[in-house]
Amino acid sequence: MSQKKRAEIVLKFLNKIYPKTPIPLKHKNIFTLLVSVALSAQTTDINVNKATKNIYPKYYKPEHFVKLGRKKIERLIKSLGFFRNKSKSIYLLSKQLLQKHKGKVPKNFNDLEKLHGVGHKTASVVMSQGFGYPAFPVDTHIHRLAQRWGLTNGKNVVQTEKDLKRLFPKKSWNKLHLQIIYYGREYCKARECYGVACKICTTCYPNRKKPIKTKKA
C-alpha cells in the first residue's frame, strides 16, 4: 500500500469519527491561546485548562502579565511542570508584544518565532487555531502516529511536518492535526496500540503482527 493510499484511509477515518474539532486549549483571545500553548509543553491540555480557568477571567492581555511580574505568574501556574521557565517565557513574550507589536499577537511565523519561548510548533498552533492560516503543527504525539501509519520515516518533527503537508490537501491541515491528536488520545495510545490494535493501524497494515518501535522526535 502506498503512502498516498494510507493518507486517504487516515483522512476518511478521521473525518468520520471527528467531524468537528473544538480547540482543546481553553482561551479568551489569541493572546491567551498563545499563553496556553506555551504552558502546554511537557503537560496535558487538561492540566493547562485547570490552571488557566482562574487566570483568564482576570488576566488576558500582555500588559496584565507584565504588570504581574515573573514571581506572581509563577504562583499562578505553579501546578504545571517547569513553571519557572514558563513564567519567564510568558513575562518576556508579553513584554515583547507591548514593545514591538503594540500588544497584538503577530499574524506571521517570522515574528511569532522571535517571541521568547515560541518555537515553530507553538507558532503553527497559533497560526492555525488562532488565525485560521493553513499550518500543520507537529508535536511528539502526531510524530509517533504518523510513523505508525506509515506516513513518514520518522527522522524528526521537521521531516514529519513536510511529509504530512505533502500527503494531505492544504484545506485539511488545520482540522486534521486536531483530529490526529484526538484519535491518538482515544484509540492509538502510546502504550496500548503499538501499531497493531487500532482501526487505522490495522487497516493501513493488515499483515503487521509485531508491535513497532517509533523514533522519538
- Closest to 148 measured CA to CA, from 208, 203, 212: 212
Would 14 be classed as within a structural domain?
Answer: yes
**Phi and psi (nearest 5°) for 31?**
-65, -45
Q: Is 139 a catalytic residue?
A: yes
| CATH number where 111 lies | 1.10.340.30
List alpha helices for 18-81, DSSP H: 30-39, 45-52, 62-68, 70-76
Task: Please confirm, yes or no, whether 199 is among the known catalytic residues.
Answer: no
Name the DSSP letter for residue 214. -
Give the Å distances, CA to CA, from 210 to 157, 201, 206, 215.
24, 12, 11, 16
Look-up of cell digits 490494535: 197
Domain check: are 42 and 113 in the same one? Answer: yes
Task: With H, G, I as helix, E, B as strand and everything else as coil, classify residue 153.
Answer: coil
Q: How would residue 42 be classed by pLDDT, with cut points 50, 70 and 90?
A: confident
Q: pLDDT tens for residues 52-92?
A: 999 999 999 999 999 999 999 999 999 998 999 999 999 99
Quote the pLDDT of residue 125. 97
**Would you tell me the crossing angle of helices 30-39 and 83-101 to the nearest 10 degrees?**
150
User: For 113-150, how does the pLDDT look when each residue is reduced to its tens digit (9 = 90+)?
Assistant: 999 999 999 999 999 999 999 999 999 899 999 999 99
One domain for residues 43 and 104: yes
| Domain membership flag for residue 179 | yes
Last residue of a domain, one of 83, 107, 130: 130
Give the Cα separation of 68 and 62 in Å (integer): 10
Same domain, 105 and 37: yes
Other CB atoms within 10 A of residue 167 CB? 17
215 lies in some domain: no
Q: Is residue 81 domain-shared with residue 115, that is, in the same domain?
A: yes
Note whether 120 and 195 are same-domain residues: no
User: Which position among 72, 139, 163, 170 bears the catalytic label?
Assistant: 139
> pLDDT class for 49, splitting at 50, 70, 90?
very high
Based on the fold, state whether residues 125 and 149 are members of the same structural domain.
no
pLDDT at 114: 96
Catalytic residue among 16, 45, 71, 121: 121
Residue 213: its pLDDT value, please?
A: 87
Q: Distance between CA 151 and CA 121 in Å, rounded? A: 19
Last residue of a domain, one of 100, 130, 160: 130
Residues with Cβ < 8 Å from 209, sequence gap 6 or more? 196
130, 146, 175 - which closes a domain: 130
Q: Number of structural domains, the chain?
A: 2
Does 217 have pLDDT greater than 80? no
Q: Are 11 and 37 members of one domain?
A: no
Residue-number span of the structural domain to which 48 is assigned = 30-130
Q: Are residues 102 and 47 in the same domain?
A: yes
